[in-house]
Structure 1
């Protein structure tokens, strides 16, 4: 059972690796669902991590119907991830009718070259997930990250199970969204998946010594930092181990 952890800062990357992650999905701004991380973060992650780094390629938050200019950005970001030495990239593209955009997907796959490719939860917005899955398989992606078109992977387990059966050994289906140590065994048993995805997030207080009139930088609490919780990843591993899943 492979465990992928999504992170959006270097501290979380280190925590996730120590806690037993098998692979990292490297993102910026997980609070927005994850966007492309900056070049410095990618380079440092590749330099210091001893597990595979898959870089999120998403130029903005929101839907997955991109303009030609946004597609150009995605192509450049894939190039930079490849040159930096990442093992893979993560992206998803839909057209105006919420079908897989075949032309854009082909272009992104060509730019990815020998990198591993995960097609992310854009499939959860697809108008026909079964047709979308066939298109993704044909394009050569190695896995799909999905919540089964539901709010979370447990709620979408029945659809994920159908995806697993449809894909067979042609591609890996990886449940994600709302996965934790309390529900992971149920999700794996119901879906038959061999990989799982989570953030395992927690928060820690700022290490700064703050004055009473400290300004804020945005709508979020700048002094409660969101990081990967080592205990969350470890607890998930233990839950899988107790259920006789190899991890």
Structure 2
């Protein structure tokens, strides 16, 4: 069972890596749902952390529909982080009609090369989650999809996550549930949904707030819960 932890400071990354995280999602602007972090932050984390680092590519929080100006920035950011040698990229894009923006994906993935890609929670605003997953299955680089099951809290979408799991697996994608997970509900959620990985943000932080530092005791306890479950076959 793999745990992905949000990190937006070097201290976050060090605490997460030392206390049970398997992967970091590196962002800035956590209150806006995560935007593209600085090169300096990512370099600092790379120098001191030795786990999988996936970097958010999101130029603003207005929407998941991007202009040509936005796309130019996203392409340059992907190129820069690829040059740095990050483990992977986190991105997502929709059309105004709520479908996965395949034309934009083609452009961004061409820049990202062979880097593994997580399609982020843009999928939760898609008109049809299952169809969106099937569309993403056409892209071998997309290894994970982060989703709350279309609801603000993934805990309210446990049945949807359980249903989406086999759809994602059939596409060669690992479903990564996140948003609203916390320690008191985690074990029951994992048992009900049958997922092999999960994403945690505020649930691993002091006071349960994404704006606070990581709570080492909470994250250690979350790791203990995760270790009760079989490892992914990946």
User: 1:34 corresponds to which residue?
Assistant: 34
User: 1:43 and 1:108 mapped to 2: Cα distance?
Assistant: 22
Cα offset, 1:29, TM superposition: 1.2
Cα offset, 1:202, TM superposition: 2.0
User: 2:56 corresponds to which residue?
Assistant: 56
Cα offset, 1:130, TM superposition: 1.2
User: 2:145 corresponds to which residue?
Assistant: 144
User: 1:115 corresponds to which residue?
Assistant: 115
Q: Deviations over 1:150-200 (max 9, x none)?
A: 111111111111111112251100100011221122221222110010022
Q: TM-score when scaled to structure 2? A: 0.92
2:7 aligned with 1:7: yes
The answer on whether the counterparts of 1:7 and 1:13 sit within 8 Å (CA) in structure 2 is: yes
Q: Deviations over 1:208-237 (max 9, x none)?
A: xxxxxxxxxxxxxxxxx7212111211111
The answer on whether the counterparts of 1:7 and 1:30 sit within 8 Å (CA) in structure 2 is: no
1:189 pairs with one of 182, 188, 191 = 191
User: 1:18 and 1:59 mapped to 2: Cα distance?
Assistant: 30
The answer on whether the counterparts of 2:196 and 2:231 sit within 8 Å (CA) in structure 1 is: no
2:96 aligned with 1:92: no
> How many residues align structurally?
225
User: 1:232 and 1:4 mapped to 2: Cα distance?
Assistant: 14
User: 2:222 corresponds to which residue?
Assistant: 236
Of the structure 1 ranges 230-239 and 98-107, higher mean CA displacement relative to structure 2 is found in 230-239
Cα offset, 1:245, TM superposition: 4.3
User: 2:229 and 2:53 mapped to 1: Cα distance?
Assistant: 27
Cα offset, 1:112, TM superposition: 1.1
Normalized per residue, which structure has more helix? 2
User: 2:212 corresponds to which residue?
Assistant: 226
User: 1:191 and 1:111 mapped to 2: Cα distance?
Assistant: 34
User: 1:66 corresponds to which residue?
Assistant: 66
Q: TM-score when scaled to structure 1? A: 0.87
User: 1:167 corresponds to which residue?
Assistant: 168
| RMSD (CA atoms) | 1.5
Cα offset, 1:244, TM superposition: 4.4
User: 1:157 and 1:229 mapped to 2: Cα distance?
Assistant: 25
2:181 pairs with one of 171, 179, 182 = 179
- Report the CA distance shift for 1:99/1:238 in structure 2 as closer, same or farther (over 3 A): same
User: 1:216 corresponds to which residue?
Assistant: none
User: 1:160 and 1:244 mapped to 2: Cα distance?
Assistant: 17
Cα offset, 1:55, TM superposition: 0.2
Rg comparison, structure with higher value: 1
Q: What are structure 2's unaligned runs of at least 5 residues?
A: none
